[in-house]
Each structure stands twice: as C-alpha cells, then as structure tokens.
Structure 1
Amino acid sequence: MNNSIEIPDCYHPKEAVLICPSTSTPKHTLYLSNLDDQKFLRFSIKYLHLYKKSVSVDVLQASLSNVLVEYYPLAGRLKPSQEHEDKFLLDCNAQGAYFSEAHLNLTVDQFLHASSKPNKTWRKLLFRLDSQSFLDVPPLIIQVNYLSCGGMILCTSINHCFCDGIGSAQFLHAWSQLTSKPNAELSVKPYHIRHLLKPRIPSQISFSHPEFHCHDPSFNVTQFILSQPLVPVSVTFTPSQILSLKKLCVPSLKCTSFEVLSSHVWRSWVKALDLPPFLPVKLLFSINVRKKMRPKLPIGYYGNGFVLGCAETSVDRLALSNLQYSVKLVQQAKDCVTDDYVRSMIDFLQERRIKPDLSSSLVISQWAKQGLEDLDFGEGKPLYIGPLASEIYCLFLPVTGNLHAFTVLMSVPQSIAEKFEHLLVNFDEREGNEDDGKEKLFV
C-alpha cells in the first residue's frame, strides 16, 4: 500500500476575497429541480488539480470574474423557499465566489510520489469558511496553492445542488478556456433553466424506485463501517486488467468498462466485509439522463441531470455467483432508466423528500470520462486529478496520460483493507468458466 503525503502548513499572504462577475448579470431567483434539491446532495464536490507550472493569481481571478458572467448562478447563494421551508432556491445576486491564495513548501514531485491516498492534511489546500449551516456555504470556493518548485495545486469546491459532475466539469472547462484564451467564445454555453425537470401535476409515480427502499433495518452496513477506524484503498486498473475482467463475461455477455469494474468492486467490497449471507445489498451509481429525456435536455445543461441506478441482490448470491451475474444486475439497472422513469422519480421526490437508502449500499461516483484530466489553464494539463478526501463511497478517477485506465479510491475499515485490496487486484481469470455448482446457481 502506498503512503499518503502530509501537507505542510500553508502561508496565506492575504485574506480570501470575493470574485464577482466582471459585468452586470441577471438578478432573479432560479428554480432548483427535485434532482438538484435532493437532501443527499447537500454537500460540495471538491476537486484537486496538480500542475507542473503555475498561473498567476491576477490571471486566474480575472478569468474567473469573466466566466462568472456566463455562469452567474455560481456567484449567487442558496436560500430557502417561502412555500416549502425544506426546499431550496438559487438567489442570483452576484455576491461572488470565494478565492484564496496560499504558498507552501512542497514540490510537484513530492506530491506525485505519494498522492494516491488523500489524508486529513489535504484539507489545508482549500479555503474553509466558517458557516452555521449548509445555506451559508458559498456555491463556489477556490484556492490556488503555489508550490516551492513553481508548480501549483488548484482546489475547487462546487455546491452539488447547483450542478452534477458533468456540470461542474463543464464550468471548470469554461474557466480554463477563458484563462488560456481570454477573448475566446465558450465552446459550450451554459443552460441555466431547471423548469424542464419540474414535477407533473398530478404526480404519476409509475416505478418503485428501489434506491429509496430499506429492506432490512436490523443490520446497517454503513453504521458498521463508520464504527471502525477507516483507511483509504487506492487501486489503478490498466486497460489490460479491465480487458481481463471483461473476458470473464464473454462470449455470453458483452459489457462496458464501467459495468464490469463497478460489478467487480461491489463483489470485492461485499466479500471483504464478511456480511450476513442473506442481507440485501445494493450498488448505487449515477446515470446521466441528459440524452434519455424526451425531449433531450439542451446542450450546456449543467444542473443535476442524473438519477441513481440501483442494482440489488443478497450477500450470498453476490458472493457465490460469477461476475456475469452482477454485471447483468448493473445492466438491468441502467436499462430501466428512461424518460418515464426519470419523470416518475421527480414526482416521487415531490411527494417524499427522502434520501436514498444507504444502510447497505455501495455508492460509486464516476469522475472519469468527464475530461477533468484535460483541464488546461494555459500551462499544460494536470499531472494529477483527484478528491481532497477519501470517503466510504467509491470514486472512479481518471488516470493522467491513460484514457482507458481507472483508479478506484474509497475508504474501508482498517481491519479489511488488505483483504479488499487483494480481492480487487487478484481476481480469478478462470472464474467465468468454472463448473462449480455454486458458481452457476445465479448466472
């Protein structure tokens, strides 16, 4: 297991400042859809990008001010709705994004040498505003960290109620584009309106939406995990390793890299935890619905345009079956997401403002395939991209310089970390062809 680098104390030459749009922007209240305003999305997505060469504070702040003209909602603030106190709205008031500058005695090479696993000291790399509630947290916070070698670490925090991973990547690409080419037209214009995903009147809930249903409250896997010391596990899968996983499913089943890797991680997680055999378990993962809606969501839609796919089975079925079984479950979960399904979920959330069931679920968030590894502010692409912290949900991260590789990062109980990593790395390439009766029970 690789070590994680400890971040030294940062020197802040000045107080954090508010960066406002460079010209006047619309002042109005923006509706948040039920996909935006889900309770489980009330946090910020925090990105870390490492660069060999730095860009000056003045240039970054000027380009940020310019891009906030186009993405003016990110300079606003959340506020509660007068009609429903549990519902949030977006006040587009041009109050601004927080921007902080820091310097630290650290080199790019030192960070790269042990950067696969975040630790608590990494939080120094992002400005933290004292706040009493989630509503008080600005939607956009940025800190540029200048390294002693001339490189930089750029950290951004983007409110998940404003946008999903695709939307936040769209904003970051727009910012980088205006930094490297200040006079350029944005390649993708943001689409702000969220009314396209309003609930229907009357509601038409035509699906069961299993991601919200709790089957067995007698054993809470999440509480079991959080009751123990946690450590991050990070494993990179090369294209050849992913191909080996796919070979366990062919010729009877063709699958994508995400389908096979998410299934493999889910099985490994369940096996490592040694859970009760008949316990129901779920795999939850985001499914982009922009092209599944009828009509499709407009190009540039950067709000939350995803729903959670839900694959579910029992511990014993998942552990004893071969990989094809879990891949089929993932594919079935993806296939059921249609325009009707999404509309039904929006209506469901209108009537029941609840969180997904996380009591026995592994949640996977896909950061790869969003172009985050291509974010160029004028001095080259990042050498590393990742989160500021490792959580119990699983991240699929892009690997710089290898488009078809993935890094799996998540925190697990220290007592099972070695077993979990072993299961991830040492999968049995003969598994798909075994004749063992137990293996064939659930294919």
Structure 2
Amino acid sequence: MARTLQPTSLAFKVRRSEPELVAPIKPTPREYKSLSDIDDRYGHRFQHPIILLYRYNPSMEGKDPAKVIRDAIAKTLVFYYPFAGRLKEGANGKLSVDCTGEGVLFIEGDADVTLQQFGDNPLPPFPCMDELLFDVKGYGGILNYPLFLIQVTRLKCGGFIFTIRHNHTMGDATGLLQFMKAVGEMARGVPSPTISPIWERHLLNARTPPRVTYTHHEFDQEFMDMNDDETIQPNNMMNLSFFFGSNEISALRKFIPPHYQCTTHDILTACLWRCHTTALQPNPSQHIRLICIVNARSKFNPPLPLGYYGNAIAYPTTVTTADKLCRSPLEYAIELVKQAKGKATEEYMKSTADFLVTNGRPALALNRWSFLLSNLTRIKFQDVDFGWGKAVYGGDASNSDGKHLIPFTNNEGEDGIVVTLYLPALIMERFVNELNSLLKNENPNGNHNYIKSNM
C-alpha cells in the first residue's frame, strides 16, 4: 500500500515585527544588470515560497535566530548585491536589475507553538502559511519591489521556522539554495561564501539571429489551460504526500526486466505519470504530455560556471497517447522519460532562448493532460545551516503549483523520496487506487480497462 502522509492540521498566530529592509552591510556597485532570456520569460514572473524548520539546539542557547540570520543576510548581500536591487522592464519585455542596494524585506516573529506540533513528518502544505510568511501589503509585485521577503519565526520550544518568498526571475532552486547556503556560512562566521556568485547571464541569451532548432512541445498552444473541467475548482482540490522507501521502489522495479537499466527517478516518474493518466480517464487517443524539469548547468560545454545562480532549467517534453502509455509495458513510459531528459542539451537551451524571444516570452502551456514533475531530490534545502544544524524539512512551502519529488527521512529514520500532489479529489482517489494496485503488483503488463472509450 502507498504510504500516505497527511497534511498537518494546526492553527496559531504569529506576533510579528514591522517589516524592515535589510541592505548590504557595505556599499555595493550601482549598475544595471540584464537578466537572461531564460530568466525573464513570463512563466518565471512569480513569487515562490520556501520553508525550513529547525529544532532547538542547546549549543545555540541565548542566540536569537532572527538577529543571527538578519545580520548574515546583510553580509551576504554584499556578494549577491543584485538581490538587494529592483527589477525594471525595458523594450519587448526585457528585464534587468537596477542594483540600488535598497535591500530585501525581513520580518521576525514569535509563535506560541512547538515544532513537535507540526507532526512527525512535516511536509507541505504547511498550516497557517499566511502567518509564517506574512503577505506585506504593497510588496507582492514583480517590478520595482524587493526581490525577497524573508521571515524568521521563533517557536516556544526553542526551534524556529525560516521562510522566504523569492522572485523566480532572479534564479532557480539551485541558485536560491546557493544564496541560502551562503547566508548560513555567514551566520556561522565564515568571512565569504565558499562558492562565489557568478552573474554571466549573457550565457543564456538568445542567439543573433535566433535559430529555433527543436520542437518545443512545452509551449504548444494545444495544451493551454482548460477551465471547463468542473473537477478543477479550489474547494474540490486535495493535497496528499506519498513516501517511497526502498520497499516501494523495489515493488515498482518488479514491473521491469531484471537487467533493464534505469534510475529510481526514471521509474518513479514513469509510474506516477501513468497513474495520473489513468486517473484522468481520458479518451484513448488523447494526446498527453510529460514535462520534465532539468537543471542544465552541466549540459553546457564547458559547463556553466560554478556559482551561476540564474535560471538554468530546461523543460524537455514528450508526447504520446493515453492508450499507448497505459497499455504498453512500463519500459515504454520509462524510455519516454529518458528521452525527454536527454533532450536537455546546450543546444536545447539555446533553442529555448531563441524560441522565447521570437514568441513573446510565453509561459508553459499547461492543462489537465500535462504531467509536470519537478525533481527536487538533489536540491537539499534542508542542508542550509544557520548554526542550529540541518533543517527538519527544507523545500517548497506549498504543493499547489504542481507535483514534486522531495528527498525525505521519515520519523523512523528511513531515507526515501516524498511525492507531493495537488489534485481534484476525484482524480486523487483514482490515483491512490491505481498506485496501490501497482505496489501490490496487480497490473504487471499495463492491461488496463479504465480508459474511457469516448469523452
């Protein structure tokens, strides 16, 4: 059976300070720095929340995490000074940073709850996020606003919660983690970041003239958002998280030949995609897509410089039909996963930049037939150490924006992968049934009869 982890139900209030701007501790260059053509597409123009939960550490007795982190941010912004600036938009939607040195928004607070009250397996969605990351009135925009909103909330057990909302145009999860680790180093007394930040955004700009050399299915208009599905309503959505340890992965591997080579990510992605597709009950001929999110830093020759903290993610996509995906052996889906990930080359990234600037910088085209999966198993936000040790949980504060793979150690000390899903209740019920069927080895050949014959 799938090991389902239920969201925590908890109500509390946070006593907060007034928001303040934390600026670099030293003067920084006043200049304009252009974002890349991968950075400034419209799909990146949003604020993304990250949360880290920390236990009480007796060795830090008497130290205020809010003050320690605030001071560390001021020191780190000397090196990452564009983060202390403000975004401006130029001709044709091109974004740049006005490096004003104004700073980032910071709030400190106190909550009358303990870390233990968040449960044995704290996972998104977290309760009372509007308390843990206060939505400061007038500061939620993309242009001309602080690029970070950070809140440190002390808990009555001596632990604390760090939350950050960052402007995604400025960097991806890898870039944000690099910055946060630098803040952690400064908090622990390191004089400068171990990894020096590298701007170099021109490396991911469109070519002159642009040359689109790939078919970019991730932007296909055929797959634009559909709002005619009555199951996709805010009051009808459901959050669930699923833990996959060694037993669950072994159960899934029974579906493939013993010597068939694939990674845990490949087989897990393939199984989740197929379970999701069958839960939708599509027409057999319905075209469906898998969109992978791939860190392309190492795909360049030479690789992007160590310390590059901009957006360097590709969205390679594969398309098939519901019938072929769900009735073929699992190796078929796994091969599609491999092929999609394999597209994420240097040329693919250049083609993406060229496509974006020649097509108005579009967002991803998404609808219910799209399975977008973000693999965060190598993005270990829990490793950020401000002096209190590693976080109990580090990563997305909400899973309402998609489907994620998160590295996780459960309360029994077992390492594994958590899959967070946000689906309509009816689709979620079917998904759980199908996943349980897989884990019980009931459908080894993919011979399913639950795909609708017509819409």
- Would you say the 8 A contact 1:216–1:279 is kept in 2? no
Aligned to 2:424: 413
Provide the rounded CA distance (Å) in 1 between the counterparts of 2:190 and 2:342: 43
Q: Does 1:347 align with 2:354?
A: yes
Aligned to 2:66: 57
Provide the rounded CA distance (Å) in 2 between the counterparts of 1:339 and 1:67: 31
How far the C-alpha of 1:279 sits from its partner, in A, is 1.5
Aligned to 1:78: 87
Aligned to 1:134: 142
Residues 206 and 224 of structure 1, relative CA distance in 2, 3 Å threshold: farther
Q: Does 1:284 align with 2:287?
A: no
- Would you say the 8 A contact 2:327–2:448 is kept in 1? no
Q: Return the letter of the residue paired with 1:169.
A: L
Q: Which of 246, 249, 256 matches 2:263?
A: 256
- Would you say the 8 A contact 1:392–1:412 is kept in 2? no
- Would you say the 8 A contact 1:211–1:284 is kept in 2? yes
Q: Which of 317, 342, 363 matches 2:324?
A: 317
Residues 237 and 114 of structure 1, relative CA distance in 2, 3 Å threshold: closer
Aligned to 2:156: 148
Provide the rounded CA distance (Å) in 1 between the counterparts of 2:228 and 2:310: 28
Aligned to 2:60: none
The alignment of Structure 1 onto Structure 2 pairs a total of residues equal to 434
Q: Does 1:374 align with 2:380?
A: no
Aligned to 2:309: 302
Provide the rounded CA distance (Å) in 2 between the counterparts of 1:285 and 1:213: 15
CA deviation profile, 1:207-240 (whole Å, cap 9, x unmatched): 11111113367x9389555336101011011133
Residues 427 and 195 of structure 1, relative CA distance in 2, 3 Å threshold: same
CA deviation profile, 1:84-125 (whole Å, cap 9, x unmatched): 2x2221111111011101111111111134733415622220
Provide the rounded CA distance (Å) in 1 between the counterparts of 2:228 and 2:400: 12
Q: Which of 393, 398, 417 matches 1:384?
A: 393
CA deviation profile, 1:279-337 (whole Å, cap 9, x unmatched): 21111121111111123211100100111021221122222223211111010111222
Residues 123 and 268 of structure 1, relative CA distance in 2, 3 Å threshold: farther
How far the C-alpha of 1:436 sits from its partner, in A, is 5.9
- Would you say the 8 A contact 1:323–1:432 is kept in 2? no
How far the C-alpha of 1:167 sits from its partner, in A, is 0.7
TM-score by length of 1: 0.91
How far the C-alpha of 1:24 sits from its partner, in A, is 1.1
Residues 403 and 313 of structure 1, relative CA distance in 2, 3 Å threshold: farther
How far the C-alpha of 1:376 sits from its partner, in A, is 1.3
Aligned to 1:92: 99
Provide the rounded CA distance (Å) in 2 between the counterparts of 1:341 and 1:68: 33
Unpaired segments of 5 or more residues in structure 1?
Answer: 439-443
Q: Does 1:4 align with 2:8?
A: yes
Provide the rounded CA distance (Å) in 1 between the counterparts of 2:327 and 2:237: 27
- Would you say the 8 A contact 1:324–1:432 is kept in 2? no
Aligned to 1:422: 433
- Would you say the 8 A contact 1:191–1:300 is kept in 2? yes
- Would you say the 8 A contact 1:215–1:280 is kept in 2? no
Q: Return the letter of the residue paired with 1:329.
A: L
- Would you say the 8 A contact 2:438–2:444 is kept in 1? no
- Would you say the 8 A contact 2:14–2:110 is kept in 1? yes
Provide the rounded CA distance (Å) in 2 between the counterparts of 1:403 and 1:192: 38
TM-score by length of 2: 0.88
Provide the rounded CA distance (Å) in 1 between the counterparts of 2:392 and 2:88: 38
CA deviation profile, 1:325-371 (whole Å, cap 9, x unmatched): 11110101112222222111111111012222202312112222122
Provide the rounded CA distance (Å) in 1 between the counterparts of 2:448 and 2:388: 57
Task: Give runs of aligned pairs for residues 11-30 of structure 1, distance below 5 A.
Answer: 11-12=15-16, 14-30=17-33
Give secondary structure in 1 for the equivalent of 2:113: coil
CA deviation profile, 1:17-59 (whole Å, cap 9, x unmatched): 1100111111111111111011111112211111112743221
Residues 68 and 232 of structure 1, relative CA distance in 2, 3 Å threshold: same
Provide the rounded CA distance (Å) in 2 between the counterparts of 1:311 and 1:256: 18
Cα RMSD (Å) of the superposition?
A: 2.5
How far the C-alpha of 1:77 sits from its partner, in A, is 1.2
- Would you say the 8 A contact 1:245–1:429 is kept in 2? no
- Would you say the 8 A contact 2:23–2:84 is kept in 1? yes
